[in-house]
Chain A
Amino acid sequence: MNVGEIQTFEHDVLVIGAGGAGLRAAIECSARGLNTGVISKSLLGKAHTVMAEGGMAASLGNVDRRDNWKIHFRDTMRGGKFLNQWRMAELHAKQAPERVRELEEWGAVFDRTPDGLISQRNFGGHRYPRLAHVGDRTGLELIRTLQDHGVHQGIHFHMECTALRLLLDSGRIAGVAGYWRDTGRFVLFRTPSVIMATGGGGKAWNVTSNSWEYTGDGAALAYEAGAELMDLEFTQFHPTGMVWPPSVRGTLVTEGVRGDGGILLNNKGERFMFNYIPKRFASETADTILEADKWPDDPSARRPPELLTRDVVARAIRAEVQAGRGSPHGGAFLDIASRRPADAIRRKLPSMYHQFKELAEVDITTTPMEVGPTLHYFMGGIRVDADSQQTNVPGLFACGECAAGLHGANRLGGNSLSDLIVFGRLAGIGVAAYLSEQGTTPRADDEQITAAFREATSILNRESGENPYLMHEAIQEVMSSNVGIVRTGEELQTAVEQLEALKARAKNLKAPGTSQYNPGWHEALSVKSLLVVGEAVARAAYIREESRGAHTRLDFEGERDECARFNVVTKKGPSGEMQVAKVERPDPPKELAAIANATLDDLEGGKVG
């Protein structure tokens, strides 16, 4: 193979992924004068961001003037069980409002308050109505706004293009080897910097709200290039996915249903969430139906327990089902029909109405939905510096879901879309700063490039071998059975052993047909990423011997103070083995610790910080 004959693009920065984080990063890079390329596995505007429903969290204070960045910061830290990177949570809470206003400047049309400002809705774990939203299709609004703005910024978009390998020059980023999905031809990007914005790896589970793209490519590519991963044991199960019919099991039902007044019931008609209020949130959560029903109209009423954080609600639904109090198809009932008028439901939750009507033949304005936990989000990912989003690999940056740190042990709903725009921008600034300090241009040697292409081609050239689709299903089976919403050390070890066995089999994958638009081949190439993230999650979960946030160990109940002092960091060892270590957390800055531990009265009165 002659590298000189391969189609080659040269950029100052290549962004991998065109969801919210990737587009925002690319816009920032381009604004800073960088020759910016973006590659995306799908067509522009189709990335997983499009499925985000509820909204983006920012303490604009449009609906409740008492809100401010400190309360948003405190909510985020408490939701993340204090395992978040303090500085990231601070930057996020401080910068989110400006980023939301910027979207409006670029054409986004959020729902409005009666006095014409951006409206904000209630969501789990957020003290005040904080989520800027457009009905229940906020993700579409975000991605379309960034897309329509981005296409006029001189960015080079390379659609339906997949990265195979990061190329290095003496440990520095020097390029990316990839292929076009439609033609199957290989392509080479020579670039001194890369921003990973590839999202999570939920497709390693079989019940997930994630689309096919979520195969953990960013984390896996970065890992192979020597980057550290962090917090992978924290995989969020969203409490409310569809459970029926089977073909849509896992499809997301927005938390906005509960934010707008929906309640959870078991098959006895009981509002069971009152039985699952954790101590940490007891003083701020309603403990009677009477009080919960007064909220939000009566400002003295505390929030209903349905709006506890996602980890708590997901475990509660699971426990109800296990106790025999589940809905007919193994979930809980989510009832908005008896709480809000039909036209209000259709207006605020149009795509939920549509989704249930079309896919489940259920009218949510008259009938409760059946919902259950679904793998939704990776809190963990590539370890980055809070301010610049740079990894330990020079020239490699990461932002959005594929980066770790903001959300700690559990993400609050609405903090994901704001994460994308805050840290997408910071990654762009980080790259510009990095490039301004670089002297020589790194250059990848031919050997790395041809090795990447040879590995990919071998899947097509093999006479016979494993079916890539069935291999993917086997990985999902391992993860769903052994690395689920509750875990034990024994199961996690089983998962690692079974993944090892699958890794060996995966060396013999075979995709029939040619390289032209061949989904079997694409599937085979993503198996490698799925195996890396699957193993990393299982190993990280094994060494965190406690239950915290989204990580629940039946053999280690409850949070343990000593476990709050470390994050789990994963990297590739010198002989190719996966190394997992506990890395001590530095003490937080005093002023941030004071805010996170303050009472609400203090923060609302402005006494702290």
Chain B
Amino acid sequence: MSPRKFKIWRGDSRGGEFNAYDADVDEGMVVLDVLHRIQALQANDLAIRWNCKAGKCGSCSMEINGRPRLACMTRMNSFGPEEVITVQPLKAFPIIKDLTCDVSWNYEQNKRIAPFRPKPRGRDGEHRMYQEDVDRVQEFRKCIECFLCQDVCHVVRDRDRKDAFVGPRFMIRLASLEMHPLDDDDRVPEIKKEYGSGMCNITRCCTETCPEHINITDNGIIPLKERVVDRYYDPLARLARLFAGRKVRTKTRSEEQSE
């Protein structure tokens, strides 16, 4: 057992400050363990969100020494022996109290996305999909909704353009629908005009921070951008469609409805 120094942000939407705590740390502990010890013995009302403590639920997202991390997967032995550990809430969302913030905006974005729409089943009553065709979608579906990618996204965090871009988490969700072998809906106009695929300038911060190691940018966002480009800006594709007499949607559902 060895004593370690912590600085934890305490406060609420009206303001707050870093408080210093000393805590004993045992072998194998993660940051969340130490926060729980501080909570039980020194600060009973310290607000933290957590659930599974195994990196599977994405609840304990916070900023630890300036980096967005899951507290349950951040081992104490990853810090230098004298290093002070500074813990604060995610910056991209409004603070509720201490280390918790209001992430409801994310749930609103999810609800805006048109749901999965399956093709009819085959004649034998089965949906057939092959493993190699679902590998990519399964990668996206590993997402635990920790919202760390949203927290580091420049559009969401620094420019606060939550009005214009749904953020990497929901680009991945869109990709998981668009690349789902059974889905027959078309969300490309919405991806361009409503969910803001053009806002992402591919800095890959989201990919770097993803605790599930989902290749958000290269496997998810860029292919969606390419679909938008093919639909709206590729003259050859447009010509080909013209000759084939094939029509594609360029208007969003709400644009269609308002006509």
**Contact surface of A with B, Cβ cutoff 8 Å:** 42-48, 50-51, 104-107, 109, 111-112, 114-117, 134-135, 137, 139-141, 144, 148-149, 151-152, 159, 182, 211-213, 244-248, 251-252, 350-351, 354-355, 358-360, 467-470, 473, 511-514, 516-521
Name which of B124-132, B160-168, B187-195, B217-225 contacts chain A. Answer: B124-132
In the complex, the chain A residue whose C-beta lies closest to that of B107 is A44
The CA-CA distance from A244 to B26 in the complex, in Å, is 12
Residues of B within 8 A of A106 (CB): 116
The CA-CA distance from A149 to B58 in the complex, in Å, is 20
Asked whether any CB of chain A lies closer than 8 Å to the CB of B115, the reply is yes
Name which of B38-46, B150-158, B243-251 contacts chain A. Answer: B38-46
Asked whether any CB of chain A lies closer than 8 Å to the CB of B242, the reply is no
- Please encode chain B, from 120 to 147, with 1 for each CB lying within 8 Å of some chain A CB and 0 for all others: 0000001111110010011001111100
Given contacts A117-B128, A516-B97, A517-B100, contact A211 B51 (CB under 8 A): yes
Going nearest first, the 7 A-B pairs with the smallest beta carbon separation are A245-B28, A513-B45, A520-B44, A116-B128, A107-B116, A469-B40, A517-B47
Contact of B12 among A244, A247, A360, A516 (CB under 8 A): A516
Is A512 touching B45 in the complex (CB atoms < 8 A)?
Answer: yes
Given contacts A111-B131, A134-B141, A467-B40, contact A354 B55 (CB under 8 A): yes
- A-B contact number at CB 8 A: 170
The CA-CA distance from A470 to B145 in the complex, in Å, is 32
In the complex, the chain A residue whose C-beta lies closest to that of B115 is A152
Is B51 touching A514 in the complex (CB atoms < 8 A)?
Answer: no
Is A519 touching B145 in the complex (CB atoms < 8 A)?
Answer: no
Is B49 touching A251 in the complex (CB atoms < 8 A)?
Answer: no
Is B111 touching A50 in the complex (CB atoms < 8 A)?
Answer: no
Is A109 touching B138 in the complex (CB atoms < 8 A)?
Answer: yes
Is A246 touching B56 in the complex (CB atoms < 8 A)?
Answer: no
Is B116 touching A360 in the complex (CB atoms < 8 A)?
Answer: no
Is B134 touching A360 in the complex (CB atoms < 8 A)?
Answer: no
Contact of A112 among B40, B55, B102, B134 (CB under 8 A): B134
The CA-CA distance from A10 to B96 in the complex, in Å, is 27
Interface of B is mostly: loop
Given contacts A247-B26, A248-B28, contact A109 B137 (CB under 8 A): yes
Given contacts A44-B107, A116-B129, A140-B56, contact A358 B75 (CB under 8 A): yes
Given contacts A134-B141, A469-B39, contact A43 B54 (CB under 8 A): no
Residues of A within 8 A of B103 (CB): 43
Sample (14) of A-B pairs whose CB atoms are under 8 Å apart: A42-B51, A43-B49, A43-B59, A43-B107, A46-B51, A46-B145, A51-B54, A140-B142, A148-B110, A149-B115, A252-B54, A473-B40, A511-B45, A519-B44
**Contact surface of B with A, Cβ cutoff 8 Å:** 12, 26-30, 33, 39-41, 44-59, 73, 75, 96-98, 100, 102-104, 107, 110-111, 115-116, 118, 126-131, 134, 137-138, 141-145, 173, 177, 180, 182-183
In the complex, the chain A residue whose C-beta lies closest to that of B181 is A109
The CA-CA distance from A126 to B240 in the complex, in Å, is 54
Residues of B within 8 A of A245 (CB): 26-29
Is A359 touching B75 in the complex (CB atoms < 8 A)?
Answer: yes
The CA-CA distance from A139 to B96 in the complex, in Å, is 29
Is A211 touching B48 in the complex (CB atoms < 8 A)?
Answer: no
Is A116 touching B130 in the complex (CB atoms < 8 A)?
Answer: yes
Given contacts A44-B107, A152-B115, A247-B30, contact A211 B52 (CB under 8 A): yes
Is A137 touching B73 in the complex (CB atoms < 8 A)?
Answer: no
Residues of A within 8 A of B126 (CB): 116-117
The CA-CA distance from A517 to B46 in the complex, in Å, is 8
The CA-CA distance from A115 to B142 in the complex, in Å, is 24
Chain B's nearest CB lies how many Å from the CB of A241? 11
Residues of B within 8 A of A246 (CB): 26-28
Is B128 touching A115 in the complex (CB atoms < 8 A)?
Answer: yes
Residues of B within 8 A of A115 (CB): 128
The CA-CA distance from A42 to B54 in the complex, in Å, is 16
Residues of A within 8 A of B28 (CB): 244-248, 359-360
Q: Knowing that A159-B107, A244-B28, A517-B100 touch, tell me 20 more A-B residue pairs with CB under 8 angstroms.
A: A42-B57, A47-B51, A51-B52, A51-B56, A51-B57, A104-B118, A107-B118, A149-B115, A159-B104, A246-B27, A246-B28, A247-B28, A359-B55, A467-B44, A469-B41, A512-B45, A513-B44, A513-B45, A514-B45, A519-B39
Given contacts A51-B52, A469-B40, contact A112 B115 (CB under 8 A): no
Residues of A within 8 A of B130 (CB): 112, 116
Chain A's nearest CB lies how many Å from the CB of B256? 19
The CA-CA distance from A151 to B173 in the complex, in Å, is 14
The CA-CA distance from A436 to B127 in the complex, in Å, is 36
Residues of B within 8 A of A470 (CB): 40
Q: Which of A112, A211, A467, A519 has the most CB of B within 10 A?
A: A519
Residues of A within 8 A of B115 (CB): 107, 148-149, 152
Residues of A within 8 A of B40 (CB): 467, 469-470, 473
Chain B's nearest CB lies how many Å from the CB of A208? 11
Given contacts A45-B145, A520-B45, contact A212 B51 (CB under 8 A): yes
Chain A's nearest CB lies how many Å from the CB of B209? 15
Chain A's nearest CB lies how many Å from the CB of B184? 12
Chain A's nearest CB lies how many Å from the CB of B218? 19
In the complex, the chain A residue whose C-beta lies closest to that of B212 is A354
Residues of A within 8 A of B96 (CB): 182, 516-517
Is B57 touching A50 in the complex (CB atoms < 8 A)?
Answer: yes
The CA-CA distance from A521 to B116 in the complex, in Å, is 40
Q: Which of B30, B52, B127, B182 has the most CB of A within 10 A?
A: B52
Chain B's nearest CB lies how many Å from the CB of A251? 5
The CA-CA distance from A473 to B12 in the complex, in Å, is 29
Residues of A within 8 A of B26 (CB): 245-247
Is B137 touching A149 in the complex (CB atoms < 8 A)?
Answer: no
Residues of B within 8 A of A111 (CB): 131, 138
In the complex, the chain A residue whose C-beta lies closest to that of B108 is A151
Residues of A within 8 A of B39 (CB): 469, 519-520
Residues of A within 8 A of B56 (CB): 50-51, 137, 139-140, 351
Given contacts A134-B138, A245-B27, A246-B27, contact A50 B33 (CB under 8 A): no
In the complex, the chain B residue whose C-beta lies closest to that of A107 is B116
Contact of A144 among B52, B134, B141 (CB under 8 A): B141
Is B55 touching A355 in the complex (CB atoms < 8 A)?
Answer: yes
Chain B's nearest CB lies how many Å from the CB of A156? 12
Residues of B within 8 A of A42 (CB): 49, 51, 57, 59
Contact of B144 among A140, A151, A511, A521 (CB under 8 A): A140
Contact of B33 among A149, A247, A354, A514 (CB under 8 A): A247
Chain A's nearest CB lies how many Å from the CB of B200? 22
Chain A's nearest CB lies how many Å from the CB of B122? 9
Given contacts A50-B52, A470-B40, contact A518 B57 (CB under 8 A): no
The CA-CA distance from A134 to B137 in the complex, in Å, is 12
Residues of B within 8 A of A469 (CB): 39-41, 44
Is B118 touching A112 in the complex (CB atoms < 8 A)?
Answer: no
Residues of B within 8 A of A359 (CB): 28, 30, 54-55, 73, 75
Residues of B within 8 A of A355 (CB): 54-55
Contact of A151 among B53, B59, B111, B180 (CB under 8 A): B111
Is A358 touching B55 in the complex (CB atoms < 8 A)?
Answer: yes
Is B141 touching A518 in the complex (CB atoms < 8 A)?
Answer: no
Is B59 touching A107 in the complex (CB atoms < 8 A)?
Answer: no
Residues of B within 8 A of A43 (CB): 49, 59, 103, 107
Chain B's nearest CB lies how many Å from the CB of A259? 18
The CA-CA distance from A42 to B56 in the complex, in Å, is 14
The CA-CA distance from A354 to B45 in the complex, in Å, is 32
Is A141 touching B141 in the complex (CB atoms < 8 A)?
Answer: yes
Residues of B within 8 A of A105 (CB): 118, 127
The CA-CA distance from A252 to B52 in the complex, in Å, is 10
In the complex, the chain A residue whose C-beta lies closest to that of B48 is A519
Is A137 touching B142 in the complex (CB atoms < 8 A)?
Answer: yes
